[in-house]
Amino acid sequence: MPSNKSVSDAPIVQFTNCRILRNHQLQREDLWVREGKILNPEKLFFEEKGSADIQLDCKDSIIAPGFIDVQINGGFGVDFSLATDDFKSGIDLVSQKILSHGVTSFCPTLVTSPPSLYYQVLPQISVRNGGAHGAGILGAHLEGPFISKEKKGAHPEHCLRTFEAGAFQDLLATYGSLDCVRIVTLAPEMKRSSEVIRELTKRGICVSLGHSVANLSQAEEAVQHGATFITHLFNAMLPFHHRDPGIVGLLTSDKIPAGRRVFYGMISDGIHTNPAALRIAHRAHPKGMVLVTDAIAGMGLAPGRHTLGQQVVEIDGLNTYIAGTKTLSGSVATMDTCVRHFQEATGKSSSSWSPAPLSQLQLLRFSDSCFLSLLFCADFLMLNDDLYVQATYIAGEEVWRQDALGM
């Protein structure tokens, strides 16, 4: 039976012999794609009377959502917090390289920097769709400089800023423009932060709480004003305490506004967060977990000295430190490595997938429904049972395949 050309002249592609991630479980069924969208097979069969124009054998692969990395500082020698003459070619390089690690969209992340850096770099970041050229760019993640001196981590202290009388105008003066900005990380205990959170939220920018000494009450107030994310949970914040759990307490808070969900990033690299902490967070609030790499320029390169914005960092195995210290400064883990480590840490097999890879979609408001919902953009991966990426698809088109490398 031919496809229904009265609906669309575009070919229908049927992915067969695959196991699809649906409702966090793998189900053996086919995937149907047309014009970069995943089709509802019932509507296709019964309303359109359509069938496949092309069939592709997935060879028993797992089909799962493409990964979205909302905190990545660079990689492969490229530092997003450095202004260079070839910045655009650098961001193009990273977007192309991360396809092999299953990342189909990302937020280039800038750590705390002087205003002059934001003025130079932000105009060179453009939101764009992904494709064979590389992963899609969702907008910048600005991590600082409105963060706590006490929990600055690897951020340079001399660049930290506070909100003065102008509050939101201070933020605009620092960044220069918010046109390409998708996420802003700030410390909610700062004076006048509430009005900044409200203004950012009005503009559709995700506000994340991090690098902070906020108590739970301050964190809850920030969420009530519109904050929806926590930057690398457990790292660069007050440790959990039973009398005041701080920002960590948002995972089980009863003060979250109705209909609102708090998401939280976790660096699942085996260095930043103990497996027990991963399990605690996941069991407390599984639907809010968002895996991030927090990768730096040294990701994909040999150990040695690299940069993270204004700082020199040293890579020693899987550890990255500010040079001459033992202060952790980002990660060199790739996203697929983080996913595998998380699955291992939580004791899950490939047949019972964690919701963590799905939360990125909801955090940035692409969809409140699960992957494979009607007309959802067809950004997906083919994985083997050990969760290694076999192929990456964006808008239904293959953009990377392991076989193409002769592996």
Q: Position of tokens 């019964």?
A: 46
Confirm or deny that 154 is annotated as ligand binding.
yes
Q: Please state, as a whole number, how many other Cβ atoms lie within 10 Å of the Cβ of residue 7.
A: 15
Confirm or deny that 328 is annotated as ligand binding.
yes
Q: Position of tokens 């964006």?
A: 394
Confirm or deny that 306 is annotated as ligand binding.
no
Confirm or deny that 203 is annotated as ligand binding.
no
Question: Going by C-beta distance under 8 Å and a sequence separation of 6 or more, which residues neighbour residue 315?
Answer: 298, 301, 302, 303, 304, 305, 306, 332
294 counts as catalytic: yes
Distance CA(8)–CA(231), nearest Å, equals 43
Confirm or deny that 77 is annotated as ligand binding.
no
Distance CA(238)–CA(224), nearest Å, equals 20
Mind giving me the DSSP string for 146-184?
A: SS-STT-TTS-GGG-----TTTHHHHHHHHS--TTEEEE
Confirm or deny that 232 is annotated as ligand binding.
yes
Question: Going by C-beta distance under 8 Å and a sequence separation of 6 or more, which residues neighbour residue 243?
Answer: none
| Beta strand residue intervals within 187-318, DSSP E | 206-209, 229-230, 263-267, 289-292, 304-308, 311-316
Confirm or deny that 130 is annotated as ligand binding.
no
Residue type, 124: Q
Q: Which of 269, 294, 336, 379 is catalytic?
A: 294
Question: Going by C-beta distance under 8 Å and a sequence separation of 6 or more, which residues neighbour residue 193?
Answer: 146, 163, 186, 187, 222
> Three-state DSSP class for 281?
helix
Confirm or deny that 333 is annotated as ligand binding.
no
> Three-state DSSP class for 385?
coil
Confirm or deny that 285 is annotated as ligand binding.
no
Annotated binding site: 143, 154, 211, 232, 235-236, 243, 272, 328-330
Residues involved in catalysis: 294
Annotated binding site for Zn(2+): 143, 211, 232
Annotated binding site for substrate: 154, 235-236, 243, 272, 328-330
